[in-house]
Amino acid sequence: MTATIARRLLAAIPVLFGLSVIVFLMIALIPGDPATAILGSYATPENVARLNASLGLDKSLPQQYLAWISGVLSGDFGRSYALNRPVIDIVTERFSATLLLAGASLVLATVFGLLAGIVSAVRQFGFADKAITLAVLIGISVPSFWLGLLLILFFAVKIKLFPASGMVAIYGGGGPLDILHHLVLPAITLALVATGVIARLTRTAMLEVLRQDYIRTARAKGLSERRVIYRHAFMAALVSVIPVIGIQAGFVLGGAVYVETVFQWPGIGAMLVNAISQRDILLVQGGVLVVAASYVLFNLLADICQTLLDPRLK
Amino acid sequence: MTAAAASSRDDRSSGRERRERPSTFALILNNRLAAAGLVVLCLIVIAALAAPILPLADPNATDPASRLAPLLSPGHLLGTDALGRDMLSRLVWGTRVSLVVGVSASLIAAIFGSAIGLVAGYAGGRTDQMLMRLIDLTMAFPYILLALAIVAILGPGLINALYAIAIVNVPFFARNIRGITVGLARREFVDAARLSGKGPLTILWSDILPNVLPTIVITLSTTVGWMILETAGLSFLGLGAQPPQADLGSMLGDGRKVMFTAPTISLVPGLMIFLIVMSINLIGDGIRDALDPRLRSGALARPAFRTKVAKGRRKADTDGEQEPLPADAGGVGLDPLPAGEGGNRYPPLPCRASPPQGGRSPSVGLSERSISPLEGEMPAGRGGFQGRDGDDVASDRNDNPVLAVRGLETDFHIGRSVYHASNGVDLTIRRGECLCLVGESGSGKSVTAMSVMGLVPSPPGVIAGGRIGFKGEDLADAPDRRIRELRGGAVSHVFQDPLATLHPLFAVGDQIVEAIRAHQPLGKRAAEAKARDLLDLVRIPNAAQRMKALPHELSGGLRQRVSIAMALANDPELIIADEPTTALDVTVQAEVLRLLDTLRRERDTAVLFITHDFGVVSEIADRVAVMYAGRIVETGETAEILTRPAHPYTRMLIDCVPVMGEPERRLDAVPGRPPAVNRLPPGCAFADRCPRVQPDCREGEIPLETKRGSLEARCLHPLGPGEALAGGADPLEARP
């Protein structure tokens, strides 16, 4: 088992490497002079020169990469020019908020997506199946930035149940309950699409599994339908749903951009949008790298879970 | 899937079935949701296209005097925004921009993605690897994040957002198209094109592209909604359309500033995005459903807990001895022959008003009995199940049958066709007796056996008629709870391929424990001890260790022993074994067979054994019933059937078995194929393949009433004792 996990970890290294190259190339790919792009068109020539030197832009690309990646690995992502702070500080601060939001959403999406998918498959062609199928279709078609507004207008403005923005109350907030209170609406908004996708694929996987011979065996043993469905069928279906959950982690991390903007959640998505508007390229670079790397790690985790669940995959 | 269903599926691909199939477009229209999506999308697209000629206000004309007008204001149907611009006009124009941008992004993604996929798939080797690695790498980024990074490089703006979304979607196309192309590149017509001297580009363009076009269209239909949504999203974030240019996303983003005072300004464009995306997704689903043959044939339907029993189920024998069913069938005297198989040795009886026995006859409707005379004369079921004469035979045996199936009809409803997989079958098995049900694949033997415990997948299976008597109880009438109690308890199963029939993720010991605890009030420990004993019983060495093994870690023979152990877990009275040795090596086959035979003799268990192999029959069977096209065509005691069969079909099946020491003996497969069981010819179903066929074979029902010794055959021109088939060993020549 340890060997399997180690092998998967090793396999992730080339992906992380490729990822870092692409993120590194962001600067090189900027049309025109990167330093000017980063500092803006009003930058003084000496500032441009200093930045060029600190970015090592006068060296060859591989040398630049080496310099950059060794900095990254030691936690040096450069400095944000707009905020005048080290990128690493901003990114870690923001990323924890995103991780909380995305994690909560993913948990919601997984729980409800799996449940809806199971019910839908078990009641195939029945009322529940049709209702869930339609709900899923709506769920994956709703723009999250619009849904967020709807939820704010209803739950925050109309019935004043949940706050409309932020992560903690400005006065007297900060406890876990306060954060939870602020988390509800954004987490639901962000979870919706992923829930739909997971429900859809769980339904398909369950239908596929329910036709298998071992389900007939389970029934032939005289097991209750509950046990047949929730143990025998579901465990087998889960094996093929887990990678989907992994992929949804990417959609949730990316979709956080919209939700954080709508709810003013102090996460990395909202930060990225601001940084892009302000052409704060180094901050964008650091943010993208951290989020992308965490996505890779999350998929790795899903991969390992899948192997643990289905030892045949070893 | 059962053999019968499999054979019927073959028939579906025949031309006849295809003609019934409506066109793809008709299928999409038939899908009400997809049709609704199509209508909505058409309306939106028409409005967006007609924007310049519609009587709309200038979308950019500001009018501070009438700013933030509410919905339905005079002159402003949808009100105005913070600058007093007409919302309706802005909505239509914004939709136009969003559609153009979204569709352009999709087309760019489709063109570049398909090109990459085509090249990678066609070139193969290094090029393929490199391109696909790159594609995989871009997919390692969270979807929207990559778009953001691209916008960060190119700078905000609508066109840049368009590029970003297009690039992000390239991998979807590249992957899908590559998959198809790899398959196509090895096909003959591509080789032919190559040999005719066409260059690779020409081949890609003129030979391969037309074949991948449908895939491109499907991928496009499933991604275009997303791309419209995502470009709108970038605009919403302020990274797409820049003022004064406006698409739906930027309208929403702008409206957000006055969200609390005038919510409609942001909600209306959002609603429009939702409508567009939803209608496209509905259409996309419709297209996918229409093009996915698996969904159409209903093959993806999940089987229910038990086979559906038709409401108006025909209960063939209505001559009064119907109830109580089985247990005393022996007493009532269907002997010495198994009642079912031998039911029709006399012409149909007029209904004898034999008294209902015991008065407990919940399954016999009054109406049924009252029409029975008629039914007695005209077989109620399809199987030629006719009245049986109770006085016919003296009850010379005291042991009652464990299983007494009467006139069983199991149908498969596939599309508009009904396949009579089991077509009026009678079976009787007594304690400790092994009955082999023999036939080619597709003969309905498995369906018949699986019908007993309602394990025929339903849909599409339906028990349309007959009764399934288990010790006096009609299982077709039994409530679900009773069925569950019997399954794995009094009646257990051993299936064909133990790799497929054992749960792949659970340790075999746990699976046996589960079977035990489903029926016995044992603690985990006690059940585990019992499971170990069972593994010992089926002679699995090292049982304690093997308990923890997963099915794939065991050999085929061991796996089947586990299945047998599981079947024995609750001391069943009847074991239904569906080709339990077919998937095994020959040597292992013999061992497993011997094991099963020993165990059932030790425990006096009745066995219904399904096989297509007469070699197996001779090893284990007490009696044999031969099935063909859903009916029993011959039945009798094993020795007699094996040596002196009366039915030509049985003879042919026996001739298929290789005999040790007779290498020069020809092994004749039975020529031809069984008829499709949804349109059986009149008369003998075997007539077309029978070397002894006569004209009268094709006229009317042939009852199972030709007797010789213990044999009964459904044949008008049976073989004499020991007689070989006409035409010697080559029935092919003798075919009509």
pLDDT tens-digit series, residues B341-366 = 333 333 332 333 333 333 333 333 33
B331 pLDDT more than 80:
no
Among chain A residues, the shortest Cα distance to B512 is held by A221
Cβ of B281 within 8 Å of Cβ of A216? The answer is: no
Q: What is the pLDDT of residue B661?
A: 60
The model's confidence at residue B322, banded by pLDDT at 50, 70 and 90, is: very low
Residues 6+ apart with CB under 8 A from A4: A304, A307, A314
Residue of B nearest to A121 (CA): B302
Kindly state the DSSP code that residue B64 receives in the 8-state scheme.
G
Q: Hey, is the C-beta of B144 within 8 angstroms of any chain A C-beta? A: yes
| Contact across the interface for B504 and A257, Cβ inside 8 Å | no
pLDDT at B288: 77
Chain A with chain B: Cβ pairs closer than 8 A = 232
Work out the pLDDT band at B518, boundaries 50, 70, 90. very high
* pLDDT classification of B577: cutoffs 50, 70, 90: very high
| Domain segments of chain B as ranges | 24-49+83-296, 626-734
Q: Do A253 and B274 touch (CB under 8 A)?
A: no
**In this structure, are residues B595 and B414 in contact, taking their beta carbons and an 8 Å threshold?**
no
Q: What is the pLDDT of residues A193-203, one digit of tens each?
A: 999 999 999 99
Tokens of A23: 């993120």
pLDDT of the residue at B12: 38
CB contact under 8 A, A206 and B144: no
Residue, of B598 and B400, whose pLDDT is higher: B598
Looking at the complex, report in whole angstroms how far the Cα of residue A141 sits from the nearest Cα belonging to chain B.
5
Per-residue model confidence (pLDDT) at position A211: 87
In this complex, do B145 and A18 lie within 8 Å of one another by their Cβ atoms?
Answer: no
- Substitution target from A157, A216, A225, A239 for chain B, most B beta carbons within 10 A: A216
Identify which of A122, A218, A295 has the shortest CB distance to residue B503.
Answer: A218
Min distance B736 CA to chain A CA atoms (Å)? 40
ipTM for the complex shown: 0.90
| pLDDT value, residue B24 | 66
B489 vs A: CB within 8 A: yes
Contact A221 B566 (CB under 8 A): yes
Q: Which residues contact A295 (CB under 8 A, 6 or more apart)?
A: A249, A250, A253, B140, B141, B142, B145
Helix (H) / strand (E) element for B175: namely helix B158-185
Task: Name every chain B residue with its beta carbon within 8 A of the beta carbon of A234.
Answer: none
Q: What are the angstrom distances between the C-alpha of B622 and each of B607, B619, B637, B642?
A: 10, 9, 6, 11
CA pair distance B169, B493, nearest whole angstrom: 50
Q: What is the pLDDT of residue B325?
A: 52
Give the range with max mean pLDDT: A185-189, A281-285, B350-354, B649-653: A185-189
What local confidence, expressed as pLDDT, does residue B527 receive?
93
B637 phi and psi, to 5 degrees?
-75, 150
- Which range is least confidently modeled, B187-201, B391-405, B454-468? B391-405
Read off the pLDDT of each residue in A224-239 and give the average, rounded to a whole number: 92
- Across the range B594-615, mean pLDDT stands at 88
Residue A132, CA distances (Å) to A115, A142, B207, B495, B585 in order: 10, 15, 42, 35, 47
**Assigned token pair, A62:** 């591989």
User: Are the beta carbons of B505 and B550 closer than 8 angstroms?
Assistant: yes
Q: Which of residues 33-52 of B touch A (CB under 8 A)?
A: 33
Q: Is pLDDT above 70 for B547? A: yes
B455 and A215 within 8 Å at the Cβ level: the answer is no
Peptide bond just before B671 cis, omega within 30 deg: no
- pLDDT > 90? residue B112: yes
Which residues of chain A have a CB within 8 Å of the CB of B144? 251, 254-255, 257-258
Nearest to B233 among A143, A150, A284 (CB): A143
What is the pLDDT at residue A314?
67
Give long-range contacts, CB 8 A cutoff, 24+ apart: B290-299: B290/B24, B290/B27, B290/B28, B290/B31, B291/B24, B291/B214, B291/B218, B296/B21, B296/B27, B297/B9, B297/B12, B297/B414, B297/B415, B298/B414, B298/B415, B298/B459, B298/B460, B299/B9
Please give the Cα distance from A162 to A94 (Å, whole number): 22
B143 to A296: CB separation less than 8 angstroms, yes or no: no
pLDDT computed for residue A185 by the predictor: 94
Q: Which residues of B touch A134 (CB under 8 A)?
A: 33
**How wide is the angle at C-alpha B11 spanned by C-alphas B8 and B12, nearest 5°?**
95
Q: What is the overall mean pLDDT for chain A?
A: 87
Count other C-beta atoms under 10 Å from residue B190's C-beta: 19
Determine the 3-state secondary structure of B6 from DSSP.
helix
Largest CA distance in chain B: 109
**B455 vs A contacts (CB less than 8 Å):** 216, 219-220
Residue of A nearest to B277 (CA): A141
The CA distance from A172 to the nearest CA of chain B, in Å, is: 25
Nearest CA in chain B to A286: B149
Gyration radius from chain B CA atoms: 35
Residue B566 or residue B657, greater confidence:
B566
Structure tokens at B148: 């953001």
Decide if A203 contacts A280 (C-beta within 8 A).
Answer: no
* Closest CB from A251, A261, A296 relative to B140: A296
pLDDT of the residue at B17: 41
A140: nearest CB among B137, B149, B281 = B281
Burial of B701 (0-12, 13-18, 19+ CB in 10 A): middle
Report the percent of chain B where pLDDT is more than 90: 23
Q: Does residue B618 have a pLDDT over 90? A: no
B373 — pLDDT class (breaks 50, 70, 90): very low
Q: What confidence tier does A260 reach under pLDDT thresholds 50, 70, 90? A: very high
> CA of A179 to nearest chain B CA: how many angstroms apart?
23
CB-CB contact of B711 with B646 (8 Å): yes
Q: What is the DSSP string of B604-627?
A: T-EEEEEES-HHHHHHH-SEEEEE
Q: Cβ distance B99 to B48 under 8 Å? A: yes
Q: How sure is the predictor about B328, in pLDDT bands with cuts at 50, 70 and 90?
A: very low
Q: Best mutation site among B237, B242, B501, B517 for testing chain A: the one with the most A CBs within 10 Å?
A: B237
Helix residue ranges per DSSP H, B323-439: 329-332, 366-370, 372-377
Q: Which residues pair with B708 in a beta bridge?
A: B711
Weakest-pLDDT range from A64-78, B117-131, B372-386: B372-386
> Residue B501 and residue A216: Cβ atoms within 8 Å?
yes
Give the tens place of pLDDT for each residue, B437-466: 998 888 888 999 999 999 998 878 889 888
In angstroms, the CA A232 to CA A216 distance is: 10
Nearest to A146 among B152, B270, B300 (CB): B270
Counting residues of chain B whose pLDDT is more than 70, the rounded percentage is: 80
What is the model's pLDDT at position A191?
A: 95
Give me the sign of the Cα torsion angle B545, B550, B553, B559: positive
Show me where the domains of chain A are located: 1-82, 88-309
Residue B686 or B236, more confident: B236
Let me know: does B491 contact B326? Beta carbons within 8 Å.
Answer: no
- Both tokens of residue B116? 């990459």
Instruction: Look at the alpha carbons of B136, B137, B140, B144 in this order and tell me if their dihedral is positive or negative.
Output: negative
What the block records as the tokens of B196 is 């005719």
Q: Which residue among B133, B142, B492 sits closest to A254, beta carbon to beta carbon?
A: B142
One-letter amino acid of B558: L
B484 → closest Cβ in A137, A222, A312: A222
User: What's the confidence (pLDDT) of residue B28?
Assistant: 67
The model's confidence at residue B29, banded by pLDDT at 50, 70 and 90, is low
Contact at CB, A143 and B455, closer than 8 angstroms: no
Amino acid (one-letter) located at B40:
V
| Pick from A23-37, A230-244, B94-108, B583-597: least confident | A23-37
> Which of B280, B302, B496, B575 to substitute to test the interface with A, most A CBs within 10 Å?
B302
> Radius of gyration over alpha carbons of chain A, in Å?
23
Contact by Cβ (8 Å): B69, B76: yes
CB B465 within 8 A of CB B382: yes
Question: What integer pLDDT is reported at residue B47 of this predicted model?
Answer: 92
- Using pLDDT thresholds of 50, 70 and 90, give the confidence band for residue B300: low
pLDDT band of B76, cuts 50, 70, 90: confident
Query: Which residues of chain B from 498 to 557 reach within 8 Å of chain A, CB to CB?
Result: 500-506, 514-515, 518-519, 550, 552
Please check whether residue B354 is in contact with residue B388, taking contact to mean a CB–CB distance below 8 angstroms.
no
More confident site: A268 or B318: A268
Q: Look at B141 and A250 and tell me if their CB atoms are within 8 Å.
A: yes
Yes or no, beta carbons of B504 and A312 under 8 Å apart: yes
Contact B246, B94 (CB under 8 A): yes
Q: How close B271 gets to chain A, by Cα (Å)?
A: 8
- Residues of A with CB below 8 A from B271's CB? 146
Give the DSSP H or E segment for B515. Answer: helix B508-517
Task: Please give the CATH number for the structural domain made up of B24-49+83-296.
Answer: 1.10.3720.10
pLDDT score at B393: 36
Contact yes or no for B458/B307 (Cβ under 8 A): yes
Identify the residue with better confidence: B156 or A82: B156
Give the residue among A23, A64, A32, A62 at the shortest CA–CA distance from A272: A23
- Residues in chain B within 8 Å Cβ distance of A15: 136-137, 140
Residues forming a β-bridge with A19: none
Q: Is B232 an interface residue toward A (CB < 8 Å)? A: yes
- Verify whether the Cβ–Cβ distance B267 to A221 is below 8 Å: no
**What tens digit of pLDDT does each residue of A147-194 get?**
999 999 999 888 888 888 877 766 666 788 888 889 999 999 999 999
Provide CB contacts within 8 A for B508, sequence distance 6+: B502, B546, B547, B549, B550, B551, B554, B559, B562
Per-residue DSSP letter, B421: E
Facing A236 at nearest CB: one of B138, B505, B519: B505
* β-bridge mates for residue B467, sequence order: B406
d(CA B270, CA A153): 14
Give pLDDT tens digits for B657-678: 766 565 555 555 666 777 777 7
Relative to beta strand B434-438, strand B623-628 is parallel
Tokens of B653: 């099946």
Residues forming a β-bridge with B635:
B625, B712
- Tell me the average pLDDT of chain B: 78
Q: Give Cα B156 to chain centroid, integer Å.
A: 51
The closest alpha carbon to B632, from B396, B408, B467, belongs to B408
Among B2-11, B432-441, B489-498, B657-666, the range scoring the smallest mean pLDDT is: B2-11
The reported pLDDT for the residue numbered B23 is 65
Separation of CA B508 from chain center: 26
Task: Say which DSSP state B65 is in.
Answer: G
* Minimum CA–CA partner of A30 in chain B: B153
Is 60 exceeded by the pLDDT of residue B574? yes
The set of long-range contacts for A11-18, using a CB threshold of 8 Å and a minimum separation of 24, is A12/A296, A12/A297, A12/A300, A15/A296, A15/B136, A15/B137, A15/B140, A16/A293, A16/A296, A18/B133, A18/B137, A18/B140
Residue with the larger pLDDT of the pair B194 and B319 = B194
| Percent of chain A scoring above 90 in pLDDT | 44
Cβ-defined contact of B302 to A121 (cutoff 8 Å): yes
Chain B 163-222, residues with CB within 8 Å of chain A CB atoms: none
Q: Which residues of B touch A275 (CB under 8 A)?
A: 152
β-partners of residue B707 are B712
Cβ(A132)–Cβ(A116) below 8 Å: yes
CATH superfamily of this structure's domain A88-309: MetI-like (1.10.3720.10)
Q: Which pLDDT band, with edges at 50, 70 and 90, does A35 fall under? A: confident
Q: Which residue has the higher pLDDT, B53 or A110?
A: A110
With the C-alpha atoms ordered B336, B340, B343, B345, is the resulting torsion angle positive or negative?
negative
Q: HSE (CB half, 13 Å, CA atoms) of A235? A: 17
Say yes or no: B457 contacts chain A, CB-CB below 8 A.
yes
For the residues B400-416, what does the mean pLDDT come to?
86
